[in-house]
Structure 1
Amino acid sequence: MKLNPQLAQSIVDHMMDQIPYSINIMNEHGYIIASGNPDRINTLHVGAVDVIKQGKTLPMDQVHGSHGQPGVNMPITYEGQIIGVVGITGDPAKVVPLASLLKTAVELLLKQSVVDQEKRENEKSQQRFLYHLLQATQDHPAPASLVAEARELNIDLTIPRTVVAIRCQVTDLERLNTDPTNLTFTLADNIGLVIVQADFVRRRLLKQLAVQKIAYGVSEPTTLVGQGAQQAVATLKLRENFQDDHLTEYHQVQIIDLVLKSHLPVQSLVNQFAELFGSETGKELITTIREFIKCNLNVNQTAKHLFTHRNTVNYRLEKIKEAFHLDPKKATDLFQLYIGYAYFVNRDDLTSDIFSLK
């Protein structure tokens, strides 16, 4: 264990704001690595050398050359080893109590820095593990090496887990995950994953997200975390793209997710939706067909949601019929429109713009 000069200097700067004495911190060889006097950095402190040799606190009652001033020097220890010295310049009778407090503060901060470093390393190891675990799907099961690593992290891969995809910043993910048994991972596009084992923990998390009106998607329980992550993210994105807050569970969107992955030949419908999206009138038609579907083909309910008259809704439905040559009031035609709309709103190049459809 070695003293970090940056940490040592920050301690010196903070303490010298509180007390009217000059402070020095020396490394294990007696060289000053932090000081209230910048000119003394990297110079040898003879008092510190004596402290290191004798292994005890030594007061200095008089000047020792240009590199030793009256004061007191105390050893800084970590796990029984002297790793440095802290010194305060001044009358030893006055500064010994302050030096003792400073020595204790430095040692506590060192211990905390070690704990924090270990925590960061553990988090990095867990994140690397989760990155590889997220590759585990039905087509690509977890390799034996990953299973062994899971055991070292006390993670049982045979237990089904639910993945919750959340639209949030990294800092928000840390705040939202209140259960230490959960695993978390941050994806691109401000999507955080919370991998939950216990069902009551999942219910509590979802309740919290609902109260705070944070968009999320939930996978089916699975031992294949990568597959669960795909389901959760698909649910979240479909919820956002369809602008339907009732879509929260994968089973609600599974059919449309599979349809989208089937790459059906609906490009002509997608092109027509894209053409409509280029004008305000066209956007009104797209919004109308979306709400008409969400309202289960109920014209009155659609009009209520759009804050307009039912005759306006009927007029727009006729315009949709003319544009697509498909009647939205006929089940088979509406099915085609719905599929085309689904492909349209889930285009990668449209994701950031589709939220303008209010």
Structure 2
Amino acid sequence: MELKPKLAQSIVDHMMTQIPYNINIMNKKGYIIASGNKSRINTLHVGAVDAIKQLKTLPMDQQYGNHGQPGVNMPLKFKNEIIGVVGITGDPNKVTPLASLLKTAVELLLQQKQENEQEHEIEKVKQRFIYRWLNVSKYQDPQLDSELVEEANRLNINLGKQRCVIAIAGSSQIIKNLKLDQETIIFSLTNRIELIILSSKHQEAYIQQKLEHQEIEYGISNWGNLLGRLAEQAVTTLRLSNIFGKPSFRYYSQISFVKQVLDSDLNLIAVNDQYEALLKRKDGKELIDTIREFIKCNMSVNQTAHNLFVHRNTLSNRLLRIKKLFELDPKNTEDLFQLFIGYITFYYRQTL
């Protein structure tokens, strides 16, 4: 462990708000790397050199030239190795207790810093593994990949366990407020989507309850062991629920039929082009909203007009405009189906 000047100076600046004496921190060669007196930085501290050589705390009762003043110097140790010295300027009888506390605080801080760095590195390794796991398990059993299995064993992850994935729209801050068990895994898929990978139905119910309470958008996959496929299911559910405007669509099982239709590659170029053109029209948004609401209301004119806060005649006028633009009649079931699938296809591709 090397004592970095930036960290050392931050410690000095903070501690000097609490201690009415100048504080110096020296590296293992005795040079001052942090101080309340910035003019002393990068100068040799003779008291620190002596403390390092003698491997013990040394009080300095008098001033030694320009580079040594009365005070006390205590070697800093990390894993039984001297990595520097902490010193406080002043009467040794007064500052020695403070120096002792400061030495302990710095050593504990350094230990915590290393532990945090180790945890961060382990988390980076785990995130890289999950990325591989997601990609491998889109189409095949991850247990067939010997390298993946070996890495999973090192991370104490059971690849064969049944799991479920919850895709959340938002930042990791949302997840920090959840009480998750040790087997639950978090993965940042994109800047806007977080995945919660869990293996407990109890955790699924708990997380869903919390997300509903906070009105957070999410999608839940089926249960299985092909993690990549489960992640796709969760994300697809999240995206389609936004397109439908139906937050009640939370589970992949609720939208699996629509996903199959999307994957069937229907020839809807003309319909999609018209949706694209609508976005450029002044009345485009209101017509698109009308199509969506008319579908949600199962072709009920009264309910659609009520939900859109418009008169029946206004709605009828919009439906006529839609019919003319798309050459599809929203009041005809087959034509409405094309409008419906075209709407989903167009907006689903916008979210990819």
Structure 2 match to 1:131: 131
Tell me if the contact between 1:3 and 1:84 (Cα under 8 Å) persists in the aligned partners.
Answer: yes
Q: Which TM-score applies when normalising by structure 2?
A: 0.92
Q: Deviations over 1:32-70 (max 9, x none)?
A: 221122232222222112222222211111222332211
Structure 2 match to 1:261: 263
Offset at 1:223? 1.0
SS at match of 1:65: coil
Offset at 1:274? 2.5
Aligned equivalent of 1:166, options 156, 168, 186:
168
Offset at 1:141? 4.4
Tell me if the contact between 2:137 and 2:229 (Cα under 8 Å) persists in the aligned partners.
Answer: yes
Structure 1 window deviating more from structure 2 (80-89 vs 317-326): it is: 317-326
Tell me if the contact between 2:159 and 2:225 (Cα under 8 Å) persists in the aligned partners.
Answer: yes
Aligned equivalent of 2:209, options 191, 201, 207:
207
- CA shift in 2, pair 1:34/1:316, >3 Å: same
SS at match of 1:67: coil
Structure 2 match to 1:65: 65
Structure 2 match to 1:355: none
Q: Tell me whether 1:181 sits opposite 2:179 in the alignment.
A: no
Offset at 1:189? 4.5
Structure 2 match to 1:338: 340
Structure 2 match to 1:247: 249
What RMSD, in angstroms, separates the aligned Cα atoms of the two structures?
A: 2.0
SS at match of 1:66: coil
Tell me if the contact between 2:31 and 2:42 (Cα under 8 Å) persists in the aligned partners.
Answer: yes
Q: Deviations over 1:5-30 (max 9, x none)?
A: 21111111112222221111112222
Q: Which amino acid aligns with 2:235?
A: V
Tell me if the contact between 2:141 and 2:225 (Cα under 8 Å) persists in the aligned partners.
Answer: no
Structure 2 match to 1:238: 240
Q: Which amino acid aligns with 2:151?
A: E
SS at match of 2:329: coil
Structure 1 window deviating more from structure 2 (320-329 vs 239-248): it is: 320-329
SS at match of 1:158: coil
Q: Deviations over 1:214-238 (max 9, x none)?
A: 1111111121111111111111111
Q: Which runs of 5+ in 1 are unaligned?
A: 353-358
Q: Which amino acid aligns with 2:91?
A: D
Q: Tell me whether 1:316 sits opposite 2:318 in the alignment.
A: yes
Tell me if the contact between 2:171 and 2:191 (Cα under 8 Å) persists in the aligned partners.
Answer: no
Aligned equivalent of 2:219, options 212, 217, 220:
217
Within 2, Cα distance between the matches of 1:284 and 1:4?
Answer: 60
SS at match of 2:277: helix
Q: Which amino acid aligns with 1:290?
A: R
Within 2, Cα distance between the matches of 1:342 and 1:85?
Answer: 66
SS at match of 2:177: helix
Q: Which TM-score applies when normalising by structure 1?
A: 0.91
Tell me if the contact between 1:291 and 1:305 (Cα under 8 Å) persists in the aligned partners.
Answer: yes
Structure 2 match to 1:119: 119
Tell me if the contact between 2:139 and 2:226 (Cα under 8 Å) persists in the aligned partners.
Answer: no
Within 2, Cα distance between the matches of 1:131 and 1:118?
Answer: 20
Percent of aligned pairs sharing the same letter: 53
Structure 1 window deviating more from structure 2 (74-83 vs 216-225): it is: 74-83
Q: Tell me whether 1:22 sits opposite 2:22 in the alignment.
A: yes
Within 1, Cα distance between the matches of 2:32 and 2:133?
Answer: 47
Structure 2 match to 1:356: none
Tell me if the contact between 1:73 and 1:87 (Cα under 8 Å) persists in the aligned partners.
Answer: yes
Tell me if the contact between 1:136 and 1:227 (Cα under 8 Å) persists in the aligned partners.
Answer: no
Aligned equivalent of 1:190, options 189, 192, 195:
192
Tell me if the contact between 2:139 and 2:229 (Cα under 8 Å) persists in the aligned partners.
Answer: no
Structure 2 match to 1:151: 153
Q: Deviations over 1:297-324 (max 9, x none)?
A: 2222222211223343344334333333
Within 2, Cα distance between the matches of 1:189 and 1:50?
Answer: 53
Q: Which runs of 5+ in 2 are unaligned?
A: none
Within 1, Cα distance between the matches of 2:176 and 2:187?
Answer: 10
Offset at 1:334? 2.1
Q: Which amino acid aligns with 2:33?
A: I
Q: Which amino acid aligns with 1:304?
A: H
Offset at 1:138? 4.1
- CA shift in 2, pair 1:117/1:138, >3 Å: closer
Structure 2 match to 1:99: 99
